[in-house]
Amino acid sequence: MIKVDGLTKRYARTVAVDDISFEVEKGRIVGFLGPNGAGKTTTMRVLTCFLPPTRGGVEVGGFDVLKQPLEVKRRIGYLPETPPLYPEMEVTEYLNFVASLKRIPKAETRQRVDQAIERCSLGEVRNLLQSKLSKGYRQRVGLAQAIIHNPDVLVLDEPTAGLDPKQILETRQLIKNLAGDHTIILSTHILPEVEQTCEQVIIINKGKLVAKDTVDNLTRRLRGSEAVAVEVEGRDGPLDAGEVRQRLEQVPGVSRVLAKAGGQNRCSFEVESLQGRSIRAEMARAVVEAGWNLTELRPVAFSLEEIFLQLTASEEPAAAGGEK
């Protein structure tokens, strides 16, 4: 759906984006991750035809942003960092305006506007002036504006910035609900957000691509192994933590077992696997065969936070050298 090939964007004195390439398949949610000033917004602006690339090819839905910008714009819904609202307009009026900008046929406008209002839960404020909207509602109107023409691609620049925790959850849910029909690129500098909403991550730092992969793969790649939290319960009578531990260590592929907590007849461990081994199934069998109850078995994800710090830290000297 989206093809970025060697994209470079240079401003007068600085290089905002430096030779980035990535592809996004249809229907994916991609998180665009990076610290402030990494070039996220610039990349998104190039994707949405707001800025032309200095070098490199960018295609959306098979159309080049430089050669066929109108076709690209037709297929893209864009929520900029600050939602582009007109304070003197009412929500419905605004959406009607956007609908005509996006060339929605007149006969469909009403239905599309109602749909957008419903999907973004704007029913309560539909007749309010936009200057009266709270931050959360402004963001949602911005989202409604972006999805109104049912675009193939949604580009969301920090959709949850400045929202309160409840609104953040709602917005994430909303984005997840939109995922089926749209390809979504969302930028953020909040790591858990990517973990929770995105299937694929693109990490950039100082204009350079640091990593692109699925969240799971990134986790695995960095650690090279799997970590699993296990909780075991004795079926009858108390449980000997040492015995459980011994049993777990015997499971093929396990490299390390850490005791986490223990109780009367239950204890929990964190088990790490050897490089490239999957141990969950084996472990479950081992526990059950030993006559215990397996009450919890959960992969412990390497938090993106760690990944991110690791990646950006290791790239830093190279990036600094390249800038000169």
Residues in the site for other proteins, rule: CB under 8 A?
11-12, 45, 48-52, 70-71, 73-74, 76, 78, 80-82, 84-89, 93, 97-98, 100-103, 145
Q: Is 282 in a helix, a strand, or coil? A: helix
Minimum CB–partner distance for residue 262 and other proteins (Å): 56
Which of 149/208 has CB closer to other proteins? 149
Minimum CB–partner distance for residue 53 and other proteins (Å): 11
Which of 147/239 has CB closer to other proteins? 147
* Distance from C-alpha of 141 to C-alpha of 139, rounded to nearest angstrom: 5
Contact 105, 148 (CB under 8 A): no
Which residue, among 47, 103, 122, has the nearest Cα to 80 in the 3D structure?
47
Minimum CB–partner distance for residue 83 and other proteins (Å): 8
Contact 200, 24 (CB under 8 A): yes
Q: How many CA atoms lie within 13 A of 216 on its CB side?
A: 4
Which of 160/273 has CB closer to other proteins? 160
Which of 22/78 has CB closer to other proteins? 78
Minimum CB–partner distance for residue 151 and other proteins (Å): 10
Integer-rounded Cα radius of gyration of the chain: 24
Minimum CB–partner distance for residue 174 and other proteins (Å): 20
Which of 81/199 has CB closer to other proteins? 81
7 class by beta-carbon count within 10 Å (0-12 exposed, 13-18 middle, 19+ buried): buried
Which of 98/133 has CB closer to other proteins? 98
* Distance from C-alpha of 33 to C-alpha of 196, rounded to nearest angstrom: 13
Amino acid making up residue 306: E
Minimum CB–partner distance for residue 149 and other proteins (Å): 9
* Distance from C-alpha of 279 to C-alpha of 210, rounded to nearest angstrom: 30
* Maximum alpha-carbon separation in the chain: 74
Which residue, among 112, 176, 168, 183, has the nearest Cα to 145 in the 3D structure?
112
